Structure 1
Amino acid sequence: MTSVSTASTASTAPGDPGGAAAVATAARGGPRRAALAAAAGTAIEYYEFGVYSYLAVVIGPHFFPGDDPTAALLATLAVFGSAFLMRPLGGIVLGRLGDRVGRKPVLILTVTGMGGATAAVGLLPTADAVGVAAPVALLMVRLAQGFFAGGEVTGSATYLAESAPAGRRGFFGAFTPVGVALGGGAAALVAGVTTTALSERQLDAWGWRIPFLLSLPLVAVALIARNRLADSESFLAAKSERATAKAPLTEVFTHHRGPVLKVTLLAIGSNCGYWVGLIFMNIYLTTDLGYPKESTFWIMGGISLFVAALMPVCGALSDRWGRKRLITAGFAGYAVLVVPAMLVMGRGSFPLAVAAMVVLALPMPVVQSVTYPTYAEMFPTRVRYTGLSFSFNIGTIVGGGLSPYLSTWLISATGSLLAPGFLLMAAVVVALLTLRTVAESSHGELA
């Protein structure tokens, strides 16, 4: 495995001075700017997913009216999960573009597409106005959002891995999940402000649209940040040497099937930890345990910001202590903490429930911050975007798209409020077994 430097690129591509100049420009762009731009775009993706999840109980009856609120919630969560089904397709299409054309233009495309789809949810007519066309329109918008999301977080992870200085990929790579946490936290805070400032009648009539429409200014900020970036040094070096893949997906399945399987299984565990351990717990606390929605939103927002602050620290520790050691500790923490935390939440005391949520969130910054650079390190530059996008998004379908629905369904089917905890435990056991087959990559160089 060899590193790619500006100097080496310039010397190995004497016939392509423009390519060497582009690489030098990328190097001057700075990993800090790259980290901030990557986090901004990823925040938009998870802001939308978070807002939809937090307001699922409110928006469900508008698109799936009926006498059974559980059925409406399940239908709303099913549409939520449908967006994840589009992510692998988006990962294939956008990943190929990223490996052929460049990381930067695709990252601009994904943030624009996701932001537009998010705002569109806030403009949709309800079932009272257009009947069955309302849930169909919601489904179409969610599918579009899922398509663009398929190339967003993985493109961000790819870009940061290739832009980070040697020995600091863990620290800078952690800014992808920082965007995840900030987006989810912003969603919770906006939901909290909206539900606190408006009466239930106002929230039900039109207030639920506001959080979705607020994605537009976030898109503007992300576009400004990303437009100032050069493409990653590694990609520009490969392009100047004509070393990009002509058929990235074919090459991934021909030569990199092992990393595809490993990233998929690890992504199931990490996504289940996020979507069950944080996002679903909002539904659990409000719908199943009866705690007030407004207070729960504020707590979820605060926990997300707390998690985001810890992520760069965990990423830096992985550069020093190794990725596998920290990821193992994080997954084991989920397995040990989730059921006891849920038992404490069910004791009827909101302060105790908050304390339990804080404890349950502790593994999250470890797992989220360290797995993203680990995923990127498993693939070579010429197919990194495609390989990571496809495998991560397959894992996201199971660990992210299906987990809130399965959690709600399991509670309904078994009568046990602890069923989601056992679902999370099963997912992290699979991830821990997979982790044993992954090589330590913290001190190596990108392929």
Structure 2
Amino acid sequence: MSNAPTSTLPLADAPASAPTSAPVTGGVTVARKAAVAAAAGTAIEYYEFGIYGYLAATIGPLFFPSDNSTASLLAILAVFGSAFLMRPIGGIVLGRLGDRIGRRAVLLVTVIGMGVATAAIGVLPVAASAGLAAPLLLLLIRLVQGFFAGGEVTGAAAYVAESAPSGRRGFFGAFTPVGVAIGGALAATVCGLTTSMLGSDAMTAWGWRIPFLSAIPMVMISFLVRKRVEESVAFQQFQQHNEPPKAPLKEVFSQHTPAVLKVLVLSFGQNVGYWVGLVFMNIYMTTYLKYDKATVYWIMAFVSLTMAVLMPFWGGLSDRLGRRKVLAIGFVGYTVLVVPMMTLMDQQSIGLAFLAMLIVALPMPIVQSVGYPTYAEQFPTRVRYSGMAFSFNLGAILGGGVTPYVATALIGATGNLLSPAYLLMGGSAIALLGLLRVRETAREALR
């Protein structure tokens, strides 16, 4: 009896002699639990990255004292980017473990590792008391965070895709980036509360530590949620009939190089959209446009929560229309909206700035919600974790790790406040070109 997949589309990334597998699906209850567990852990990752980005202008002079505020900001953003350099290494190590022993165990490790590292920043000494040791310790902790982050969001996305019913991977997969948006909203909310309650002087003196230490209860909740779920359906079926790969990353390079390149390019565009289109906008409005920090934090919290609500809609729509069409809508949206909305922000009206921020963020839930299930569908179960982790994290370095720094440096070098917009437009254009090489996978069974 033939075990060929029901789809007539070619499996472009599979070797010609590789056996195919029967469709792997999970029930709605299983998928719902997997989606909640994925979102809970991913929220921790993006809470940490969010508070660091939102507080960059506050903590920059504390760890990198300078008479030039732009120099301090660039230094703290360089340390921010250092975490992204560790993400591929974390993806290699944690992805290999995920492909050999299972997704669930690794996802428990990542959420604990990121949470503990985040809280550790809250107890660091600053340069005034520790000198050079302060920025070095900050750099070390950021590298640890990057290592664990390298296996978090991609592992969560793989876990949900492998647990979702056939034809609904887009809808349930959208809950992984719901965690991204909720994490960003929590970061903005905590920063907004502490800034409003303490004032700028107390915030600079010691209040900045509170958002980092607040990660501790969040980690405990996320760990308990993930501890209650089982291994993904697809990985359990894979284990029943196959030996785990001895060198999954080697297999990824030898058999799935086209998939690596596709995910890398799409991930680059996705990360530019998030880190320039959302996180950098906080720096843009507070540092360059001089809007009140607490007010901007509340704007970011509202925008992030609104984007979280929209994500399941776009993920479900991609199940019906296809991943490629919906992703194209998102990347075109970034290209069209960013310049007029950044111009609107620069009208010295907080109401207009809020409206512009809400509009410029609209492509974010489209790209985020559809991107993760698309990445999962590019690799077979036996190497899905490793393939996603490595390729996505390379794109994250280029699109996320360096873009806040580059955006700030561009403004400093050119004096043009719109220069980050062209960075976002370029990233979206590259992703659109890469999308032309991606086949439609919404209606295919997972391999």
Question: How does the TM-score come out when normalised to structure 1?
Answer: 0.94
- Alignment partner, residue 358 of structure 1: 358
In 2, are the aligned partners of 1:65 and 1:127 still within 8 Å (CA)?
A: yes
In 2, are the aligned partners of 1:2 and 1:446 still within 8 Å (CA)?
A: no
Q: SS of 2:124's equivalent?
A: coil
- Alignment partner, residue 378 of structure 1: 378
Question: Within the alignment, does 1:107 sit opposite 2:107 as a pair?
Answer: yes
Question: Within the alignment, does 1:211 sit opposite 2:211 as a pair?
Answer: yes
- Alignment partner, residue 438 of structure 2: 438
TM-superposition CA deviations, 1:48-76 (whole Å, max 9, x none): 00000000111111110121111000000
Q: SS of 1:31's equivalent?
A: helix
- Alignment partner, residue 61 of structure 1: 61
In 2, are the aligned partners of 1:39 and 1:179 still within 8 Å (CA)?
A: yes
Amino acid at match of 1:348: Q
- Large movers: runs of 4+ above 2 Å: 26-29
What is the alpha-carbon distance in structure 1 between the residues aligned to residue 28 and residue 361 of structure 2?
A: 37
Query: 1:282 offset after TM fit, Å?
Result: 0.2
- Alignment partner, residue 187 of structure 2: 187
- Alignment partner, residue 14 of structure 1: none
In 1, are the aligned partners of 2:28 and 2:165 still within 8 Å (CA)?
A: no
- Alignment partner, residue 41 of structure 2: 41
- Alignment partner, residue 242 of structure 1: 242
What is the alpha-carbon distance in structure 2 between the residues aligned to residue 72 and residue 159 of structure 1?
A: 40
Question: Within the alignment, does 1:233 sit opposite 2:233 as a pair?
Answer: yes
Question: Within the alignment, does 1:261 sit opposite 2:255 as a pair?
Answer: no
- Alignment partner, residue 414 of structure 2: 414
What is the alpha-carbon distance in structure 2 between the residues aligned to residue 127 and residue 227 of structure 1?
A: 39
Query: 1:244 offset after TM fit, Å?
Result: 2.4
Q: Show structure 1 runs of 5+ residues with no match.
A: 4-22
What is the alpha-carbon distance in structure 2 between the residues aligned to residue 240 and residue 62 of structure 1?
A: 54
Query: 1:242 offset after TM fit, Å?
Result: 2.1
What is the alpha-carbon distance in structure 1 between the residues aligned to residue 35 and residue 221 of structure 2?
A: 14
What is the alpha-carbon distance in structure 1 between the residues aligned to residue 219 and residue 163 of structure 2?
A: 22
Q: SS of 1:442's equivalent?
A: coil
What is the alpha-carbon distance in structure 1 between the residues aligned to residue 439 and residue 386 of structure 2?
A: 21
Cα root mean square deviation, aligned:
1.3
What is the alpha-carbon distance in structure 2 between the residues aligned to residue 404 and residue 66 of structure 1?
A: 19
Matches within 5 A, 1:33-432: 33-432=33-432
TM-superposition CA deviations, 1:316-360 (whole Å, max 9, x none): 111111111110011000000001111111121111111111110
Query: 1:199 offset after TM fit, Å?
Result: 2.1
Q: SS of 2:388's equivalent?
A: helix
What is the alpha-carbon distance in structure 1 between the residues aligned to residue 408 and residue 228 of structure 2?
A: 43
In 1, are the aligned partners of 2:27 and 2:164 still within 8 Å (CA)?
A: no
What is the alpha-carbon distance in structure 1 between the residues aligned to residue 321 and residue 242 of structure 2?
A: 36
Identity %: 60
- Alignment partner, residue 16 of structure 2: none
TM-superposition CA deviations, 1:238-284 (whole Å, max 9, x none): 11212421110000000000010110010010010000000000000
Query: 1:2 offset after TM fit, Å?
Result: 4.0
For the structure 1 residues 28 and 320, does the alpha-carbon distance in structure 2 shift closer, same or farther, using more than 3 Å as the test? closer
What is the alpha-carbon distance in structure 1 between the residues aligned to residue 437 and residue 83 of structure 2?
A: 30
In 2, are the aligned partners of 1:27 and 1:233 still within 8 Å (CA)?
A: no
Q: SS of 1:142's equivalent?
A: helix
Amino acid at match of 1:100: R
Query: 1:130 offset after TM fit, Å?
Result: 1.0
In 2, are the aligned partners of 1:79 and 1:142 still within 8 Å (CA)?
A: yes
Q: SS of 2:348's equivalent?
A: coil
What is the alpha-carbon distance in structure 2 between the residues aligned to residue 2 and residue 140 of structure 1?
A: 47
For the structure 1 residues 157 and 435, does the alpha-carbon distance in structure 2 shift closer, same or farther, using more than 3 Å as the test? same
Query: 1:237 offset after TM fit, Å?
Result: 1.1
Amino acid at match of 1:34: A
What is the alpha-carbon distance in structure 1 between the residues aligned to residue 199 and residue 414 of structure 2?
A: 35
TM-superposition CA deviations, 1:279-334 (whole Å, max 9, x none): 00000001011111010000000000000000001101111111111100110000
Query: 1:406 offset after TM fit, Å?
Result: 0.4
In 2, are the aligned partners of 1:29 and 1:230 still within 8 Å (CA)?
A: no
Amino acid at match of 1:234: A
Instruction: Kindly tell me the number of residue pairs found equivalent between the two proteins.
Output: 427
What is the alpha-carbon distance in structure 1 between the residues aligned to residue 5 and residue 138 of structure 2?
A: 47
What is the alpha-carbon distance in structure 1 between the residues aligned to residue 303 and residue 243 of structure 2?
A: 44
In 2, are the aligned partners of 1:29 and 1:229 still within 8 Å (CA)?
A: no
What is the alpha-carbon distance in structure 2 between the residues aligned to residue 272 and residue 44 of structure 1?
A: 20
Amino acid at match of 2:174: A
Question: How does the TM-score come out when normalised to structure 2?
Answer: 0.94
